[in-house]
Amino acid sequence: AQSVTQLDSHVSVSEGTPVLLRCNYSSSYSPSLFWYVQHPNKGLQLLLKYTSAATLVKGINGFEAEFKKSETSFHLTKPSAHMSDAAEYFCVVSDTGFQKLVFGTGTRLLVSP
Amino acid sequence: EPEVTQTPSHQVTQMGQEVILRCVPISNHLYFYWYRQILGQKVEFLVSFYNNEISEKSEIFDDQFSVERPDGSNFTLKIRSTKLEDSAMYFCASSNTGGIDEQYFGPGTRLTVT
């Protein structure tokens, strides 16, 4: 069965410094991988998705993620954090052809001035 | 930009009561989903719905749960007899083509069972 592991429950950065949120996945098939963000009292918003095209995926708000099959990883990065990036981030996997999304436990990103 | 909407934003109910959570998916989408997130836990898949029938459901989605698309715009989740452990945030989502296509999520309904 497919699953994702988010290695950090909380990540704290200062504004203007790089962001790294780590995710490892397990999947029997060629996976589709997503990062979703959840701001307080808001729905889940898609940041980016990987669906077997380019391994480096660019998303909204300057985020990007690299699919590394050999490491079964899909880490999310951003060169320079902004205060508005403070939120909960979810790494998500969906096996090709299946509809359900399987969520990680989430990483809360804290950004300090 | 089109979005998924959910009502109510917060529902409080007594154990044993029936609740209906409502969702309006994006208008041209064909696949519909419910997920839930118990406080402090991960988001969990409940059910997917396509062409007026359930296409996949999780172990959580037992006989107490049902889904319906009563008209061309609404998608509902019914819990027949609520339990304390049903307290959670319930998210509706929709997608255009299913499979690897992006799912668009609503803001959620917080259900509190007392």
Contact predicate A5/A24, CB 8 Å: yes
With CB atoms and an 8 Å threshold, state whether B98 touches A99. Answer: yes
B42, B60 in Cβ contact below 8 A?
no
Q: How many CA atoms lie within 13 A of A30 on its CB side?
A: 8
**In the prediction, which pLDDT does A98 show?**
60
Higher-confidence residue of B87 and A27: namely B87
CB contact B33 to A (< 8 Å)? yes
Which pLDDT belongs to residue B102?
A: 83
Residues 85-104 of B with CB under 8 A from A: 91, 93, 95, 98-100, 102-104
Q: Is B86 helix (H, G, I), strand (E, B) or coil?
A: helix
**CB-defined contacts A:B, below 8 A:** 59
CA of B68, closest CA in chain A: separation in Å?
A: 18
The torsion angle over the Cα atoms of residues B44, B92, B50 and A92, rounded to 10 degrees, is -40
Among candidate residues B11, B30, B17, B9, the one with its CA nearest the CA of residue B72: B30
Q: Per-residue confidence at B80, pLDDT binned at 50, 70, 90? A: very high
Q: What percent of chain B has pLDDT over 70?
A: 97
Residue B97 burial class via C-beta count within 10 angstroms: exposed 0-12, middle 13-18, buried 19 and up: exposed
